[in-house]
A and B are shown apart, each in its own frame.
Chain A
Amino acid sequence: MSRRLLASLEHVARRLGIDPHQYWHLLRASLLVDFRRQSAVASDQPTRSALLMTCLVFGLFSLVLALFAFRTLSSFHYSLLFLAYSMLMIAFIVLSEFGATIISPDDYEVLGPRPITSRTYFAAKLSNLLFYVVLIGSSLNIFPALMGAFSDFADRSFPLVYFPVALLAGLFSAMLVVLLYGAVLRVVNYEKFKDVLVYIQVVFSFFVFFGYQLLLRAMPHLEQGQHGGGRRAILLTPPGWFAGLVQVGLGQWERDYLLWAGWGILMTGVLVGAGLRSFSLEYSRHLAQLRAVTAERWRMRRRLRLRALERLLGKSPEERVAFFFVRQMLRRNRTLKLRLYPALGFPIAFVAIGILEKNLTDPFLSSSSVSSVVFFTALVGPLLVLNFHALLPYSEEHGAAWVFRVTPVRDLSRFFAGVKKAFLVSILLPLFLLTGGLFSVFWAPAHAFLHAAFSFVLSYLFLGIVFLFYRGGFPFSQEPAKMVQTRQMALAFLSMPLWGAMFALMYILYRHPKWMFGALGILLLLGWIVNRAADQKAARATMAQQEWE
């Protein structure tokens, strides 16, 4: 029986232009490669454990959220909430973590000259992707599905209806991303494509961190909305279509639900069809295009601007070299970007939380209290400083650091000054502008930028203090070590009293704004002194390390 089934499946595959033998071995190899590859988010873990951890965390978060929601929302809004979140997460995961599953440059080199049809290759890649979609989709939806059976709308058949619909919605999300890849590859080269992926990963890490926080706070608003006229508008979104499908499955045959459920099924069919037909037939061409040599057009104007900035900020050649090097690494190194850039989204998230909690009043006004959200935005800078300090000595490209060891660096302390200036200009300055800009929507612009300036100066002082503990070594000159995060945690723990003092100072200054400018001047001077001392300390530690080597 099973042999006959297998034979008929093989027959169908051949009719679709898929070689079953090659399909199976390609799928097996790509899963093997995936499981042995290092995860992008949890770089020190192999994919298997990272995937397991991701599923566990998603499962746990969904359980917590379901506990909050299952007695509060109607079945439609309950489905909508979880479907929206799982579709978004699946889309981001496919884009960021499993991008290589869809488009792998290795495949181009290895499989390009082998006798494999595009359809066989694409079928193997799609199956590989669906494996993850089902796994992650299940972890995101299993608890919401089960809890739904015990909700106020208490339909015992809810899990049986919701769960398959959630997987279908996951498939829709994944296919949308696959087609998006195809579209992006038509217009950008591979280097640009990798950059786009890193930025998507940055947004994804941000969502992982803040998504549930925002959802929990958005729930009461959703609850109010269900009695209003917003339902039709909600149904215009893809999660709305699938929530409508759940309602139809539960026997609620209202006209809106029927319409959007049908629309959802139709769109999934269209997307899967489009992915399988056009994309698979053109897949080889896409891969070839991916690696095609495209002349890098170096923008002369940009180079001149950077040179002018170097001269402005760097007094000595050592300082300019370090500034240029670290700035370029901050712009191009994938690990650094993934670890540092998501924090730039934190002020946006804190402001969103402030809006949802209706707790975003101007702290400089004597009538208002100082909100915790305001304190937290000032914490982002020191948090980034800690991360930067921990990441600075390590890189996958550490082998190239011999260049520092054979080059006569006259003044190492100036070198470290350049390193820190690059961080200030590339990370802390944009953070300062973003924070000021965001708060100026809600407060007087002068107050908003004064708050941002205060946060910036505190971060500058904190940068000096943290670098007093720098263990030495040229930037990005050591192999990534596993204990980095533990050390970073220890330093974060030790700096707790400092953060407490910072909060107290902020509170006092917001109550007495006229002291603010004086305080800023004193902190800036203190920061300069501490940073100079830290540069010299880092230089001595690096020299000692070199002598030891």
Chain B
Amino acid sequence: MGDAMIEVSHLTKYYDGVPAVDRISFTIARGEIVGYLGPNGAGKSTTVKMLTGILRPTEGSILIDGLDLLREPIEVKKRIGYVPETGGLYESLTAYEYLQLVGRLHHIPDEVLDHRIEEFLRTFGLEGVMHERLSSYSKGMKQKVLISAALLHNPKVLFLDEPLTGLDAHSALLLKELLRYLAAEGKTIFYCSHILDVVERTCTRVIIIHKGRIVADGTVEQLKELTRQDTLEDVFKQLTYSSDIEGLAQVFARHILERDA
């Protein structure tokens, strides 16, 4: 595929001999917003960490914008932006200092950088607190700083791991609109989440991972048709749970009630 931005082949990661990600392969084209779904512990974050060069795969290859991540990690990292699920901030720095550090590591000239930092933080309503330490920020405010840091150097590919965590409704809407706009401009977005309705409304394609393996890959409509389900939630349920949720909930409730009996 000539327009491929992310090409993953037989990607595998073992922890203590247990496969967290097991020989997954997919290709994502320029301008696509791909939702990467899976239950807790399915291997979503491990995949993202391998795709961003944080974790080294046990096996397999990753090409980003035609470059081999394992051979040219620096060139690949210049092209990507990453919003982690947790952490990822020096909390004793201010938002301004943190974004300045990230921008300078990407060699953005100071005059451009200052302007961008101010614009980004103003968009997220953080201009009044940009010189306060990140340790005093709420979870949502920190998330806004992380999103700004990922976009600061205008990356070609954006990896988002649960980006809506802690965001208020207004900021969440803003981010979703922003992602659509960036995709229309040719950016590739890899959106990792377990919030199904957001993925359903934002992503052009969905990959579902379960126990380290890809169990579905296609547009939301394709997946509904294939599994003969009405909603993405039902598709997800069918592909990732061996027992039915209702039955499981009943057993759980019985355990809770048992105590009083």
A interface, CB within 8 angstroms of B? 21-22, 25-26, 29, 32-33, 36-37, 105-106, 108-117, 285, 288, 292-295
Contacts of A111 in B (CB 8 A): 105
B interface size (C-beta, 8 A): 34
Candidates A21, A115, A294; contact of B77 at CB < 8 Å: A115
Told that A26-B105, A112-B54, A116-B105 touch, could you supply 16 new A-B pairs with CB distance under 8 A? A22-B107, A25-B101, A26-B101, A29-B97, A29-B101, A32-B93, A33-B92, A33-B93, A36-B133, A105-B87, A106-B87, A109-B87, A112-B52, A113-B77, A114-B105, A116-B74
Interface centre among B46, B78, B101 (most CB of A within 10 A): B101
Asked if A110 and B52 make an inter-chain contact with CB atoms under 8 angstroms apart, the answer reads: no
Tell me the residues in window 56-105 of chain B with beta carbons closer than 8 Å to chain A beta carbons: 56, 73-75, 77-78, 80, 82, 84, 87-90, 92-93, 97, 101-102, 104-105
Q: How far is the CB of B6 from chain A (nearest CB, A)?
A: 14
In the bound complex, CA of A116 to CA of B53 (Å): 11
Asked if residues B102 and A114 are in contact (CB atoms below 8 Å), the reply is yes
- Smallest beta-carbon distance B29→chain A, Å: 22
Give Cα distance in the complex from A422 to B130, angstroms.
46
Kindly name the residue among A109, A113, A117, A295 whose own CB sees the greatest number of chain B CB atoms within 10 A. A113
Interface of chain A: mostly helix, strand, loop or mixed: helix
B241 at the interface (CB under 8 A from A): no
Q: Which residues of A contact B74 (CB under 8 A)?
A: 115-117
Q: How far is the CA of A502 from the CA of B231 in the complex (A)?
A: 77
Given contacts A115-B106, A288-B55, contact A110 B92 (CB under 8 A): no
Mostly, the B contact residues are: mixed
CB closest residue in chain A, given B20: A293
A-B contact count (CB 8 A): 78
Residues of B within 8 A of A112 (CB): 49, 52-54
Chain A positions within 8 Å of B20 at CB level? 293
8 pairs from A and B in contact (CB 8 Å cutoff): A22-B105, A29-B90, A29-B97, A33-B92, A36-B93, A112-B49, A114-B106, A288-B54
Inter-chain CA distance A22–B104, complex, in Å, is 7
Contact status of A108 and B90, CB under 8 A, knowing A21-B104, A114-B77, A114-B102: no
Please list the 5 inter-chain residue pairs (A to B) with the smallest Cβ-Cβ separation, ordered nearest first: A36-B92, A112-B54, A115-B77, A109-B88, A113-B52
Q: Which residue of B is nearest A107, CB measured?
A: B90
**Closest residue of chain B to A21, judged by CB?**
B107
Is the Cβ of A293 less than 8 Å from the Cβ of B15?
Answer: yes
Please measure, in the bound complex, the distance between the C-alpha atom of A116 and the C-alpha atom of B101, giving whole angstroms. 12
Q: Which residue of A lies closest to B82 (CB)?
A: A113
